[in-house]
Amino acid sequence: MGHQQLLLLGLGVIIVGIAVVVAINIFSVSSSQANRDATISDLTNLALSAQRFYRKSVASGGGGNTFTGWVIPLSVDTTVNGTYTAIVAAQTVTLIAKGIEKGNDGTGVVQATMVAGPERILSTTINN
């Protein structure tokens, strides 16, 4: 092989290497965002479940205008998207999600917090 061919071969290997690194980074960011979106969707569903409990009468197995007594159903406290916990107060429920992908800091997992009131979701915060 001539010098020009070796130079072109080396340049081709470098370009392919850079392309692979860029593709891995894009995939990593994309999977992190997808996990974040999925955990927020799960939090929204849990908030709606808590609001249904709030509105349901005590005689029907609900809270009777209080969140006190609501718990995350065991079937959804851990999903393929992450794990979920709740801090229940009389008029608010704070839901915390921990995802499975690395978050914005690159070391810890995706995390989000949602606060739900009786009528609406009060806030959603992306923690990582």
**Which residues make Cβ contacts (< 8 Å) with residue 88, sequence separation at least 6?**
50, 67, 68, 69, 70, 71
- Does the global pTM surpass 0.75? yes
Q: Please tell me the distance from the alpha carbon of residue 39 to that of residue 81, in angstroms, as a whole number.
A: 6
The mean per-residue pLDDT over the stretch 48-71 comes to: 96
Q: Name beta bridge partners: 72.
A: none
Question: pLDDT tens for residues 110-119?
Answer: 999 999 999 9
Domain boundaries, the chain: 3-126
Give the largest Cα separation in the chain, rounded: 87
Residue 126 phi, psi dihedral angles, 5° rounding: -90, 115
Question: Is residue 1's pLDDT more than 70?
Answer: no
SS3 of residue 98 by DSSP: strand
Q: Please tell me the distance from the alpha carbon of residue 71 to that of residue 46, in angstroms, as a whole number.
A: 10
